[in-house]
Chain A
Amino acid sequence: MVHTVNDTPMCAEPRPPLTRADLKADRPTWCPGCGDFSVLAIYHKLLEKKNLPQESIVTLSGIGCSSRFPYFVNTHSVHFIHGRILPFATGLSLSRPDLHPIVFIGDGDAYSIGGNHFDHCARKNVRLMVVVMDNQVYGLTKKQTSPTSPVGFKSKTDPWGSKVAPINPTKKLVSSGATFVARTAASNPNHMLEMMEAALEHDGFSVVECFSECVQFNPGSFDAAVPRKGGSYPPVPADHDITDEEEAYALTREPFPGYFGIYYKVDRPTLNETETGLAADPVSDSDPDAVRSRLEASLRRLT
């Protein structure tokens, strides 16, 4: 039995709140101990906490270990091709303002094969939330160098140790115009939830750069950011002005593990906003006669 939404108001009857059971889907296929489990658990928690209508959430991903994400959460979901999920999500975000598209991708998708799209989504300020699960290695293909692998990282494609400088994700994001840039780690679930919540609430292109350890191919990579392993998890200083681009750059220059928290957050018109205001008196498909008259008028000018 299928009803159109127009016939039956979707939220007419009161609904029980969204629970973890509602969101549970396939059993994750990640290796035991993978940081991605923690990101998934926090995503479930975020959705429970925000209690959005389940059908309005769209979980999207590219290709990689982290991008298996959509199968493990029970929402409308898309597992797209490598590198292109950001423009895909752009098309969805622009054409369906009623939905909540949330993207989970890895460092390969975000900063290598799809790097160009990251710059342009940021510049255009597409209304979209992105979580980059950065493990500094290509895990699904079993240990090749990633764009965030540090110099000296030994992999199957750099057995002598990587010789090229990695990308600095937060610096790149601030410079390309992202209006929300935050940094967190899967090892700190409470902080991760706080950052994701802030990102979801931001009206614009919001990115959470999130360390997520690959225990199989890059173990111990983020120990310096884990206090119980002798590292430190320095929060963004309390006096940091999140609207100041220069201050944000200063944070991005800190040596590893750097600061965790919101680096940058400004308000700028979103692409979604600027695209909707382009015609003075648009007609709607719900009024077919108006659509035909509009087209008729355009064609009359060519007679």
Chain B
Amino acid sequence: MKVRVDPEVCQGHTLCAMNAPDLFALRDEDGHAYAVDEEVPAGKEDLARDAARTCPEQAIVLS
């Protein structure tokens, strides 16, 4: 599973980084979230799906 955060859609709620700190981090300069690793580590797929689902902007893209 691959994960990325659409920077145009992200509004910096930071809920993903709060709930899944292994998968998402925040840029110092603007607080936007980004995926730590494009490839979701094995066993973390549910966490990634959950983050995508609860993102208020639906900015997390899984493929």
Chain B associates with chain A? no
B-to-A contact residues, CB < 8 Å? none
A-to-B contact residues, CB < 8 Å? none
